[in-house]
């Protein structure tokens, strides 16, 4: 299990290539009133995303829910 501090440090090191966007995906249990952006961004802390958000971000909720929380962050060329 990855803790919050480890994830924050990992995300601070992410640097996109020019023009790439960060695609942030979440799967797992969540409160009915919560949204994916809160789970992937606000709950982790905005300061760790400073370089990763340079060219944009796309938040996604994976369509196949899992019992455990799963976070995925990767760079992609915009569609």
DSSP state of 34: -
For residue 30, the model assigns a pLDDT of 84
14-34 pLDDT, tens per residue? 899 999 999 999 998 888 888
pLDDT confidence of 6, banded at 50, 70, 90? confident
d(CA 74, CA 33): 26
Number of domains in the chain: 1
> By residue range, what is the domain housing residue 32?
4-76
41-76 pLDDT, tens per residue? 887 888 888 888 889 999 999 877 678 888 889 999
For residue 1, the model assigns a pLDDT of 59
pTM score of the predicted model: 0.80
SS3 for the chain is CCCHHHHHHHHHCCCCCCCCEEEEEEECCCCCCCCHHHHHHHCCCHHHHCCCCCCCEEEEECCCCCCCCEEEEEEECCC
For residue 76, the model assigns a pLDDT of 94
């Amino acid at each position: 299990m990855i803790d919050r501090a480890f994830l924050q440090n990992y995300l601070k090191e992410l640097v996109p290539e020019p023009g790439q966007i960060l695609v942030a995906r979440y799967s797992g249990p969540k409160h009915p009133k919560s949204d994916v952006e809160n789970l992937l961004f606000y709950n982790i802390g905005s300061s760790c995303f400073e370089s990763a958000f340079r060219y944009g971000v796309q938040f996604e909720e994976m369509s196949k829910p899992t019992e455990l929380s799963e976070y995925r962050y990767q760079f992609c060329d915009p569609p």
